[in-house]
Amino acid sequence: MENLNLPLLESVEPDYINEMTARREPIEKAKAMTGAVAATTIISFGALAATAYGQDKKLPGKIVDVLNFALTLEYLEDEFYRTALGSGGLIPQDTQDVFGQISKHETAHVALLRSVLGSKAVAKPNFDFTAGGAFADVFRNYQTFLAVSQAFEDTGVRAYKGQAGNLKSNDKILTVALQIHSVEARHAAMVRRLRGETPWIVGDSRGTLPAATQPVYNGDGNTTQGTVNVAALPGSSAKIASQAFDEPLTKQEVLAIAGLFIRK
Amino acid sequence: MTKIFKSDDEENNLEINIEKLSSRRTFLKFSSAAALTAVAFGALNPESLSAKTAFLGLPIDDDKSGVVDVGKGDIGVLNFVYANEQLEAAFYTQVIATPYSAMNSAERAILTDIRDNEVAHREFFRAQLGKKAIPNLQVNFTSVNFNSRESVLQTAMMFEDNGTAALNGGGQLLKNPLFLLIAGKLVSVEARHAATLRDLLRPMSAFFSGDDITDPATGLDPARTPAQALAVIKPYVVTPVSIARLPQPKA
């Protein structure tokens, strides 16, 4: 177990942010994180870590596991969008702002989780965004890119939701996880709209996504919450009851999905 | 003095609720048609439209001049969320009952879905909380111009951003992991609503998760305390709501 009292500012964050900034700059040009923004970011991470997480406390192994699980998903999303934004001609001009914003958030999530984990942070895996060829043109075909993006975002929402209970022992980290979770949901809704889908998940339908993505949606058709059959309530239906509540995925279910994109 | 409503918090756990739910569910089952009728007539009643105020859902069985105390512990937090859901459900019910003239079919479909989701959230809490549920709150939307697309969508966005932030901040206040999970199931749907409304206001831009709401340095949405979240919706809620006995956030 590692103490959180790490020299955070000298650890991984500046390098990581600088690296990401350097990669982003040729892509986003004026929209790139400026040095000033990056500096602010580092300071605020330092402040967060120092004041919010309590540097005198050790992070329990259970929380480290959850945060590293989340970090792995954020690595996946971060590299995915940076690669896409750097693939000339892939993302049309009219959605550059949308994906620039999403990419910015994923980079920030990676940096934030790494700052909390310090030396406990897992290394970034090697990704294969074609999933062994299933999405061979993911960075050449905008529709394929959108499909994988939707699958990642909807998975991310369900993944964070499934881990909330495991963070209950630390109010601050639980709250930060929830604050990331709702941003992933914003991303998911937006990408779904770009694909012409409803912004919310109806039943356990993957819509027009390929069959390989069905595990992302399995179980989302649940209509019972607590002890209430929501579908039977006034004004409700099975469709409404399912779309009004997002369902969690277990860590295993998420890793089975994400694992398709991780080189062994 | 006014009668003060307090939710019963002697038995702040789900098992007790389950017992009480069976009778509540029977009641809902038999009264659902009547309740729907009441909602529909409430929405269509020209008098209530001109006043732009409406009682929500089932008839109020409590002293409506009284302060509504959401209670304490998990039940208090859930009742506070229920208050938010009552407000949102009433708002979208009005939006669909008196659509702004520029509402096209795509926007109507979106706003109808959001109404349905919020009504489902409200009815879920009413059923799950059973006897511990706060009564129906009276709302006041006189500041909203339901004929104006901008007024409606801006108000909706504000409710959804606030609902998301309230659930983000409220998670840590819940003791029962099952309730935390349910809050998690709700909050991402509220965030999906928020992003969608933002995209209707400023299409195909960064606004769906804009720097005005999602901190660009951390990539985090806001987390609001119940007091902060209540302050945002207070102008729209006529019934005085007390959150004095809610657990205090530590983070």
**Residues near B42 by beta carbon (within 8 Å), at least 6 away in sequence:** B48, B54, B55, B93
Amino acid code (one letter) for A214: Q
Q: Is some CB atom of chain B closer than 8 A to the CB atom of A196?
A: no
* B75 part of a folded domain: yes
Q: Which residues of chain A does CATH 1.20.1260 include?
A: 14-200+250-261
Task: Give tens-digit pLDDT for B138-152.
Answer: 999 999 999 999 999
What residues make up the domain containing B209? 26-242
* B77 part of a folded domain: yes
Can you tell me the distance from the alpha carbon of A241 to that of A202, in angstroms, rounded to the nearest whole number?
A: 9
How many distinct structural domains can be found in chain B? 1
Please state, for a pLDDT cut of 90, what percent of chain A lies above it: 78
Q: Note whether A240 contacts B117, CB cutoff 8 Å.
A: yes
Show residues of chain A in contact with B35, CB under 8 Å: 234
Show residues of chain A in contact with B178, CB under 8 Å: 226
Can you tell me the distance from the alpha carbon of A222 to that of A240, in angstroms, rounded to the nearest whole number?
A: 11
Number of A to B CB contacts under 8 A, please give it: 227
ipTM of the complex: 0.83
DSSP state of B237: B
**Residue whose structure tokens are 């951003």:** B161
Instruction: Tell whether the model's pLDDT for residue A130 goes beyond 60.
Output: yes
Q: Is some CB atom of chain A closer than 8 A to the CB atom of B214?
A: yes
Nearest residue on chain B to A154, alpha-carbon basis = B188
Instruction: Tell whether the model's pLDDT for residue B27 goes beyond 70.
Output: no
CATH number for the domain formed by residue range(s) A14-200+250-261: 1.20.1260
Total Cβ atoms within 10 A of residue A134: 15
Q: How far is A173 from chain B (nearest CA, A)?
A: 9
Predicted confidence band of residue B250 (pLDDT cuts 50, 70, 90): confident
Q: Which of B113, B123, B188 has its CB closest to that of A234?
A: B123
Total Cβ atoms within 10 A of residue B243: 20
Instruction: Tell whether the model's pLDDT for residue B134 goes beyond 50.
Output: yes
Instruction: Tell whether the model's pLDDT for residue B176 goes beyond 60.
Output: yes
Show residues of chain B in contact with A183, CB under 8 Å: 191, 209, 214, 219-221
Q: How far is B140 from chain A (nearest CA, A)?
A: 23
Q: Note whether B189 contacts A236, CB cutoff 8 Å.
A: no
DSSP per residue, chain A: --BS---GGGTHHHHHHHHHHHHHHHHHGGGSPPHHHHHHHHHHHHHIIIIITTTTSBPPHHHHHHHHHHHHHHHHHHHHHHHHHTSTTSS-GGGHHHHHHHHHHHHHHHHHHHHHHGGGPPPPPPB-TTTTTTTTTTTT-HHHHHHHHHHHHHHHHHHHHHHGGGGTT-HHHHHHHHHHHHHHHHHHHHHHHHTTS-SS--TT--TTS-GGGGGGTTTTT--EETTEEGGGSTT--HHHHHHTS-----HHHHHHHHGGGB--
Residues of A (125-154) whose Cβ lies below 8 Å from B: none
* B225 part of a folded domain: yes
Q: Note whether A104 contacts B120, CB cutoff 8 Å.
A: no
Instruction: Tell whether the model's pLDDT for residue A145 goes beyond 80.
Output: yes
DSSP state of B203: T
